[in-house]
Structure 1
Amino acid sequence: MINNKVLAIILGGGQGSRLYPLTATRSKPAVPIAGKYRLVDIPISNCINSEIKRMFVLTQFNSASLNRHIKNTYHFSFFSSAFVDVLAAEQTPGNKTWFQGTADAVRQNMHHFLTHDFDYFLILSGDQLYQMDYELMVEAHIKSGAKISIATIPVSAKDATEFGIMKADKSNIVQSFIEKPDASLLPEWTSEVSTEMKSQGRHYLASMGIYIFDRTLLTELMQNPDTNDFGKEIIPQSIAKHKTLSYQYEGYWTDIGNIDSFFEANIGLTDNIPKFDLYDRKKRIYTRARMLPTTKISGTVLEHTVVSEGCLISAAKIERSVIGIRSRIGNDSHVINTYMMGSDKYETLDEISSNKIEILMGIGERCYIKNAILDKNCRIGDDVRINGGKHLENKETDMYFIKEGIVVIKKGAVIPKGYVI
């Protein structure tokens, strides 16, 4: 079987500064999405659905919560070779530095990978939202006789300037590569795409940051200590020397690179027919199995809203919002265009009745929350008004962060009663 020939490497990314403050205390793959999942659940689930069940996750920043999530989530049979292991950057006698880039992260961990029996490396990103059958990509790689395969997605001229663009021939073999080309160069960089993609004006093949390498080739390439990044160095330098396949993917795919794209990806789940389908039985997204009670909703109007398990909701109205696990929302509150991540635990009746907690976890009564991200374990007092939008300037305080009009309430922040943003 093909899956026994593949070892998956999921790259956790760097410090995740563009997703700050969501990455202030956690690594990028550990950021909660869709109310109950973590970003790392996406590539891991894609691997499991593709029958690829040997995975390493590489990370170096704030990896404790990621370690905990993976340890509590992905349990395989004792009689199986399947595993998901986290490898954090470590200093060794032979190497005193942290990861210098995606390729360097793989290089520093090659001694862990090569103890396993496999023929192909599958290199994945830990911060993308998509559902893909990697087995089909591996089959195409083998059939083509390529040494490297790159997953590509057709994009329009407007988007092409933000990506690494491949130029492929009619056999989908990559001929050349350019990083974030100027708009004036684009006419020379069109490739053959499907009729549907042509009708949408998507003529350019953008790299998705998903690669397959023959084991022997990548082992050889990793001998060069001067190449630290796949997208900027390894791929551009290898195309002319090694047969490289462009594997075209036409489904939904988005790079969760900044607060704006993260916000839009989550709010997009509230659409009537979301582009990212959490309900496809053949493409399930797996996560930690929590034994939470059902959600209780009292007197609330719900409009295009996703509600996770274990919530206690008495709001007046929730519209186009994603409500995470164990969320509490008080009477007469309005929540609009908001991603509320929820809480890690419930406050007990004894804690609440003791009057030691002035502001309960969750959203209080008579609040108005719009265009916001509420990180885990926030406490929003009664009568708080948060009205995000382009009218707000970028700003940071101890309690919140504003970027491109989106108000991000920091993890564990306490917003006093009557506060206005």
Structure 2
Amino acid sequence: MLNKKVLSIILGGGQGTRLFPLTSARSKPAVPIAGKYRLVDIPISNCINCNLKRIFVLTQFNSASLNRHVKNTYQFSLFSEAFVDILAAEQTPENPTWFQGTADAVRQCMHHFNSHNYEYALILSGDQLYQMDFMDMLHAHINSGADITVATQPVKAKDASAFGILKTDEHHFIRTFTEKPPQDQLAGWDSEVSEEMEKEGRLYLASMGIYIFNRTLLEDVMFNTNDVDFGKDIIPNAITGNKKVLGYQYEGYWEDIGTISAFYEANLALTDDIPRFNLFDKSKSIYTRGRILPPTKMSGTFVERSMIAEGCIIHAKSIERSVIGIRTRIGNDTIVKNTYIMGNDRYESIEEIEKAESEGMPHLGIGNRCEIYNTIVDKDCMIGDDVTIKGGEHLADTENEMLVIRDGVVVIKKGAFIPNGTKI
């Protein structure tokens, strides 16, 4: 079977500085999304849905929570060959340094991969949002006789400067590549796209950072070059070196969640009536850690276009276009709008709550009579009563011990303590 010839390799990401402070204590793939998942669940679930169940996750930076999540979530039958294994960066006599880039991470782990039988390596990013049929991409790779296949997404000219742009011929093989071209240098970089993409003005093929390598070529590149990055080094060198590099056009939803604003918008977009990233499609299920939590309990709350995870206790006045994560507590008469609340890792006991209230201190969750707009609230925050947080373009970028503001989005840091009556 073809799926048994594939080894899936998920890159655990670097420091993720543009997603700070969400990445201050965790790696990008470990960032919670949609109230109950982690970003790494997306590529792993895509693999499982394609019956690709031999998966390695390569981790290095702030990896403890990511390693714990993967270990506790993905367990298969002892009688199958399926696995999701973590390969943490390790120093060895042959490799005394940590991972220096995406390709170097794969290079340093090749001895683990080569203990398995495989013909094709599927290399994925651990921090993107999409639902994709990898088997369709694999068939295109095999039928074309390609050495490497690069998944591409048609983008508009205004977005092209944020990506590596590929130019394909009439057979969809990539002939040239440019990294993040300036707007005034895009002339001639358009490629043949579908009629639908052409009507939308999406004429430029951006690399999605998703690759299929033939094993023989991967081994040759890993053992005979010192290139450290796929996007900047190996793919351009393969194109100029006359390797057969196929561009596989994917026109479905795909979001490279690299900034706070992109992360914020991607989460709120899940509340749309028919979201482009559809969590309710059983053929494309997203898997995550199974938690034994009670149903969410709500009292006196008006809810409009929102997603609320399990285990919450909510007495809010209203929740509109928001995502509410697991174990969230929200007090009386509080208004939440255009906000992602990640939730909590534990419940406080009644005694802890009573003690905090007797001392006039906030307890875990969001207090009474608060107004929370255009905000991301990271996990385990303690927000007091009568707190007002109103994000928006009127706010300048800033950072302090409690929060970060980026592009008008207020991000309350993990575990932040916000006193009663605070106004932001």
- TM-score, normalised with respect to structure 1: 0.98
Whole-angstrom CA distance in 2 between matches of 1:396 and 1:204: 36
Whole-angstrom CA distance in 2 between matches of 1:184 and 1:2: 44
What is aligned with 1:117?
117
Whole-angstrom CA distance in 1 between matches of 2:264 and 2:58: 25
What is aligned with 2:337?
336
Whole-angstrom CA distance in 2 between matches of 1:401 and 1:201: 35
What is aligned with 1:306?
307
1:351 shift after superposition = 2.5
Please state whether the residue corresponding to 2:186 is helix, strand or coil: helix
CA contact (8 A) 1:2 1:138 kept: no
CA contact (8 A) 1:73 1:289 kept: yes
What is aligned with 1:363?
366
Whole-angstrom CA distance in 2 between matches of 1:225 and 1:368: 56
Whole-angstrom CA distance in 2 between matches of 1:70 and 1:105: 18
Q: Does 1:23 align with 2:28?
A: no
- Report Cα offsets for 1:183-208 as digits up to 9, x if no partner: 23323112111111111111111110
CA contact (8 A) 1:157 1:202 kept: yes
Whole-angstrom CA distance in 2 between matches of 1:323 and 1:111: 42
Tell which deviates more after alignment, 67-76 or 351-360. Answer: 351-360
CA contact (8 A) 1:313 1:330 kept: yes
1:182 shift after superposition = 2.5
Whole-angstrom CA distance in 1 between matches of 2:171 and 2:76: 39
Within 5 Å, give how 1:273-288 maps onto structure 2. Answer: 273-288=274-289
Whole-angstrom CA distance in 2 between matches of 1:346 and 1:252: 35
What is aligned with 1:297?
298
1:273 shift after superposition = 1.3
1:370 shift after superposition = 0.7
- Report Cα offsets for 1:210-254 as digits up to 9, x if no partner: 000000101110124531100000000001321011111010001
1:278 maps to a residue whose letter is L
Q: Does 1:381 align with 2:376?
A: no
Within 5 Å, give how 1:1-400 maps onto structure 2. Answer: 1-240=1-240, 241-355=242-356, 358-400=361-403
Counterpart of 1:411 (choices 408, 411, 414) is: 414
CA contact (8 A) 1:304 1:321 kept: yes
Please state whether the residue corresponding to 2:385 is helix, strand or coil: coil
2:284 maps to a residue whose letter is K
- Report Cα offsets for 1:268-301 as digits up to 9, x if no partner: 1111111111010100000001111111111111
Whole-angstrom CA distance in 1 between matches of 2:109 and 2:62: 18
1:20 shift after superposition = 0.8
2:408 maps to a residue whose letter is G
Tell which deviates more after alignment, 333-342 or 391-400. Answer: 391-400
User: Which consecutive residues of structure 2, in runs of 5 or more, have no partner in the other structure?
Assistant: none
1:166 shift after superposition = 1.1
1:399 maps to a residue whose letter is M
1:26 maps to a residue whose letter is R
1:383 maps to a residue whose letter is D
Superposition RMSD in Å: 1.1
1:403 shift after superposition = 1.2
Whole-angstrom CA distance in 1 between matches of 2:150 and 2:141: 9
Please state whether the residue corresponding to 1:336 is helix, strand or coil: strand
1:179 shift after superposition = 1.1
Please state whether the residue corresponding to 2:85 is helix, strand or coil: strand
2:418 maps to a residue whose letter is I
1:383 shift after superposition = 0.4
Whole-angstrom CA distance in 2 between matches of 1:109 and 1:337: 42
1:354 shift after superposition = 4.1
Please state whether the residue corresponding to 1:227 is helix, strand or coil: coil
CA contact (8 A) 1:11 1:124 kept: yes
Whole-angstrom CA distance in 2 between matches of 1:316 and 1:66: 35
Pair 67,77 (structure 1): closer, same or farther in 2 beyond 3 Å: same
1:350 shift after superposition = 2.9
1:283 maps to a residue whose letter is K
Please state whether the residue corresponding to 2:353 is helix, strand or coil: helix
